[in-house]
Amino acid sequence: MSTFAELDHDDVVIATEIVGKSPRELAWMRFRKDKVAMFAVAVIATYVVVALFAPVICALLGISPTRLDGAALNDYGLPNGPFGNISFEHLLGVEPGTGRDILARLLYGARVSLMVGFIATFLTTTIGVVLGVVAGYKRGRIDAVISRMTDLTLAFPSFLLIIALTRPFTQRLEAIGVPEGNPARLTYIVLVLSLFGWVYVARVVRGQTLSLREREFVEAARSCGASNSHIIFKELLPNLWAPVIVIVSLSLPGYVSTEATLSFLGLGMIAPAASWGVMLGDSVKYYRSDPTYLFIPGIALIVLVLAFNIVGDAVRDALDPKGDRQNLL
């Protein structure tokens, strides 16, 4: 970070001598100029902090995601006050039927969404990069096997399979010792998202590796007697990070969204665990009597996904600035 600070945009303008910058520094400069993206980064950071400190925040506000508050409900099980009983006691109101605090459940729900998003992204990236580099670098038979695996994975209707395999595979996970209920369900979602997601990373990485391995600097390294691992880790990987970051930052919001969709359908997390999808699935029952409940988790979800998408776009623009050139028309 300190090197970036030295290369502040203003300094560069003042300095008359030409300062050499690595592509990484150029990309970072372009990214920082994008105010919307910086705001989106701040939004994501807020979500992460709030999710990490959910128990602390709940304790400070005196709320709990599981405590039932019957006093906040009327005789019909609906929130007492207007707008889902939004009050000082319950800042975003309470759930109809149970009287659980919505803010507390949102905070804990953020943990689920972010955890699924980050872990699935980590797994898909790791698997995709490893298999993609191996396929592109080794070529031949290994490449053929990995490429056929990607073809096969892409031929399946992934969402249908994810839904269809939920119940049996969750049971199987429980049978091999994953704690029953939501931990098993969460594990399944992460695993199955990774199973279908690595392909996209691997394809991009393989294509890049195929062309990179023919370049002069790789040939130079090889002629100096560099080992395969040296070439892969020191020569190829540093040149692959840009496309990988682009594809990763654009797929992460998709994972968050899919988790919410599955939980909404009753196939992901289940109550009393807090997940935005679960809350949305529950809120549908009260769309007439308590519409506020329908909007709060939905807005939380859309804002997070939107922020990730904006950052993803900005990262891509920063790393591949073709659009920056002057246009003739």
Partner 1 sequence: MLLFIIRRLFFAIVLLIAVSVFTYFLFALLPTDPAALSCGIHCKPETIAANRIRLGYDKSIFEQYWLFLKGIFVGRDYGIGTAAFTCPAPSLGYSFNQHACVTSLIGETFPVTAYLSIGAFILWMMIGIGVGAIAALNKGKWQDRLATAFASVGVSLPTFYFGLLALFSIVIWFQILPFPSYESPLDNFPAFITAMILPWLVLAIISAASYTRLTRNGMLEAMNEDFVRLGVAKGLRLRVILRRYVMRQALIPIVTIAGLDFAGLLGGAIITESVFSLPGMGRMSIRAVVDSDLPVLVGTTMIAAVFIVLANVIVDIAYGFLDPRVRVS
d(CA 135, CA 208): 11
Nearest-approach distance from CB 108 to partner 1, in angstroms: 19
Contact flag: residue 218 with partner 1 (CB under 8 A): no
Residue-by-residue DSSP string for 26-69: HHHHHHHH-HHHHHHHHHHHHHHHHHHTHHHHHHHHT--SS---
What's CA 108's distance to the chain center, in Å?
A: 17
Contact flag: residue 306 with partner 1 (CB under 8 A): yes
d(CA 243, CA 223): 27
- For partner 1, the closer CB: 11 or 151: 151
**Bridge partners, residue 79, by sequence:** 73
Residue-by-residue DSSP string for 190-203: HHHHHHHHHHHHHH
Nearest-approach distance from CB 235 to partner 1, in angstroms: 24
Nearest-approach distance from CB 84 to partner 1, in angstroms: 16
d(CA 312, CA 322): 16
- For partner 1, the closer CB: 13 or 155: 155
Taking CB under 8 A as the rule, which mask of x and - marks residues 267-296 in contact with partner 1? -------------x---x--xx--x--x--
Query: Among 22, 171, 227, 228, which residue sits at the site for partner 1 (rule: CB under 8 A)?
Result: 171
Torsion, Cα of 164, 165, 167, 170 (10° steps): -160
Residue 214 class from Cβ within 10 Å (0-12 exposed, 13-18 middle, 19+ buried)?
exposed
How is residue 24 written in tokens?
């990484």
Q: In the window 309-328, what residues touch partner 1 (CB under 8 A)?
A: 309-310, 313, 322-323, 325, 327-328
How is residue 174 written in tokens?
């429980």
- For partner 1, the closer CB: 2 or 211: 211
Query: Among 51, 260, 269, 271, which residue sits at the site for partner 1 (rule: CB under 8 A)?
Result: 260
Q: In the window 57-86, what residues touch partner 1 (CB under 8 A)?
A: none
Query: Among 264, 268, 273, 300, which residue sits at the site for partner 1 (rule: CB under 8 A)?
Result: 264
Residues that bind partner 1 (CB under 8 A): 151-152, 154-157, 159-161, 163-168, 171-172, 253, 257, 260-261, 264-265, 280, 284, 287-288, 291, 294, 298, 301-302, 305-306, 308-310, 313, 322-323, 325, 327-329
